[in-house]
A and B are shown apart, each in its own frame.
Chain A
Amino acid sequence: MDAIRVESLTKRFGDLTAVDDISFRVEEGEFFGFLGPNGAGKTTTIRLLTGLLTPDAGRISIMGIDPGRDAISAKLLMGVIPETSNVYADLTVKQNLYLAGRYYGLSGHQLKKRSEDLLSKFGIYDRRDERVRTFSKGLKQRVSIASAIIHQPGILFLDEPTEGLDVQSRRLIIRTIEEMNEEGSTIFMTTHNIEDANVLCRKVCIINQGKIVAIDRPESLKHTFDRMQFIEASFDREVKTGLFASDLISRIVVSGDKWRLYTEDLDRAVKHVAGVAERNGLKIISLRTSGPTLEDVFVELTGGGGR
């Protein structure tokens, strides 16, 4: 059975169609990435899937359950970490975990054991009786995620879970999500970080302005991503177009004094650019390389440009 099945899902806010007739399926045990820029409709989609918003059209099934019809049964199967998902600042870490656990029907020894395991895993066992109020953002997010997975949900929804965290918290959280996935949980994670989607997810769905632009395995999308890498350089004087033309460079965009050279092979392209500059007596003012940007990927995938 599919863990999540979405058919022709649509949600409008007034004139704005935040989610526009999208369909996809997430298999049980899959790590599914939902990738899109700000305002793409990621959060709206998660809210629809978790039964917080009612769709204007289309169908949703979570393990065969329609969250619009039987929200409680659907919610019992999932753990959710919303975009703003603060835990209660007035409660201690342990109280927050217990609160979540009891909503899902855990109690007694089971609840105690599970809380202690999670507290240790997230490195906050020693601070379990402190109020969350004084915690840093990263620590709060750990408490938040621990609360969301206390009942070992079969499906985990995460809305940009590592946004704004330091490396350590980020790594810990990613590791935990990966472990849950290895143990069989289905993961639905939104992000606007291509790298994250690339590394973590088994399938990536790219959404822009409410519409699905592409849905595929990261390996297949990787080719697109690779073609979207670029070098950005500027020089001390005007340069003729055509100077850098080469098989290595797929596309050149000039904006102001900045040259953006798209390539699949950053290493060789950088050497090529340096060589050309050297031969022509050009002074390089700035030079940087960049992975694909979401904007470029959309343009590419929607057939708006490139080769």
Chain B
Amino acid sequence: MNYQVFVRGLIVTTEKNIRIYYKKAPVVIFGLLFPLFMFLAFYIGREIRIQVFFPGFIAMVLFFASSSVGPLITPWEKQAGTYERLLSFPVTVDTLILGDMLAGSIYGMIITLITLITGALFLDIDITGIGLLVVATLLGAICFAALGVFMSSPATPQPSQIMMLSSLIRFPLIFISGVFIPLQELHGAGRVLSYLSPLTYLVDLFQWAMGGAPVHHLAVDLIMLLVFTCGFLFAAHLFHKRNLMKGL
């Protein structure tokens, strides 16, 4: 019976998030406009083969889009005074965490799909493994959305603080993950640093799926993304539970 209630709570929470938070300015700015500006700033006008950078670019889009919704929800609800009511519905912290995560991943997947289709139509992108592409997108979306939810766990009722914090965490990651500099050109410390970023493994997966030049074994990429996802979810569970009634 409780399993049914859990699934129901998950669906209702996800829907609520989609309805309310997809349209919020910080989500649009960080999830949509930001990757677009990065694309324009770094790729346009440079003498590069777009095909080489496209896997990195698409990974960055997925990364920013998926991780933009999560950080906003909890602080927003705390500030708006809706959080305590939400908690009094038949849900647990985990229902809310997973509902926030699902909303984030769906957002990421929609934006990524649009970007992919645009890319395939106009940029002469070569997709060699559709199946892998789908799996990678799904896995990446869930992983980064989980990161987003984890980042919303500090006990502040101020969305702007969390958005700042989440940018501080997300920006450095794109520079060490083979988005702008292909992974095989990273050596020494740069290469080691890249192992710490979950984005690295997604970029590599997209290299696999688009006939690029991956540096890790396929299985390593998949397992590492899974490990990061579990880590983020576990951390989110721990911190959200601890800070549940703080900042109300």
Residues of A within 8 A of B (CB): 47, 50, 52-53, 70-73, 75-76, 78, 80-91, 95, 99-100, 102-105, 144, 147-148
In the bound assembly, the distance between CA atoms of A71 and B20 in angstroms comes to 26
CB of A58, distance to nearest CB on chain B (Å): 18
In the bound assembly, the distance between CA atoms of A89 and B24 in angstroms comes to 13
Contact A100 B248 (CB under 8 A): no
| Contact A84 to B84, CB < 8 A, known contacts A72-B6, A75-B89 | yes
Contact B2 A52 (CB under 8 A): no
The listed residue (B2, B85, B245) touching A85 by CB distance below 8 A is B85
Q: Across the interface, name the chain A residue whose C-beta is closest to B79.
A: A86
Residues of B within 8 A of A (CB): 2, 5-6, 8-9, 12, 16, 19-20, 80-82, 84-85, 87-92, 244-245, 248
Contact B9 A103 (CB under 8 A): yes
Contact A72 B91 (CB under 8 A): yes
How many residue pairs bridge A and B at CB < 8 Å? 72
The listed residue (B8, B88, B248) touching A75 by CB distance below 8 A is B88
Q: List 28 A-B contacts (CB under 8 A).
A: A47-B245, A52-B87, A52-B88, A52-B245, A73-B2, A76-B5, A78-B88, A80-B85, A80-B88, A82-B85, A85-B81, A86-B81, A88-B20, A88-B82, A89-B80, A90-B19, A90-B20, A91-B20, A95-B19, A99-B12, A102-B8, A103-B8, A103-B9, A103-B12, A104-B90, A105-B8, A144-B85, A147-B85
CB of A131, distance to nearest CB on chain B (Å): 11
Q: Across the interface, name the chain A residue whose C-beta is closest to B241.
A: A54
**For residue A52, which residues in chain B have a CB less than 8 angstroms away from its CB?**
84, 87-88, 244-245
Contact A75 B90 (CB under 8 A): yes
CB of A5, distance to nearest CB on chain B (Å): 20
Q: Across the interface, name the chain A residue whose C-beta is closest to B9.
A: A103
| Contact A85 to B5, CB < 8 A, known contacts A72-B90, A103-B12 | no
Contact B80 A100 (CB under 8 A): no
The listed residue (B12, B85, B92) touching A86 by CB distance below 8 A is B85
Identify the 3 closest CB pairs spanning chains A and B, nearest first.
A80-B88, A86-B81, A103-B89
**For residue B2, which residues in chain A have a CB less than 8 angstroms away from its CB?**
70, 72-73
Q: A82-B85, A86-B82 provided; 8 other pairs, C-beta below 8 A?
A: A53-B245, A88-B82, A91-B20, A95-B19, A103-B8, A103-B12, A105-B5, A105-B8
**For residue A78, which residues in chain B have a CB less than 8 angstroms away from its CB?**
88
CB of A115, distance to nearest CB on chain B (Å): 15
CB of A78, distance to nearest CB on chain B (Å): 8
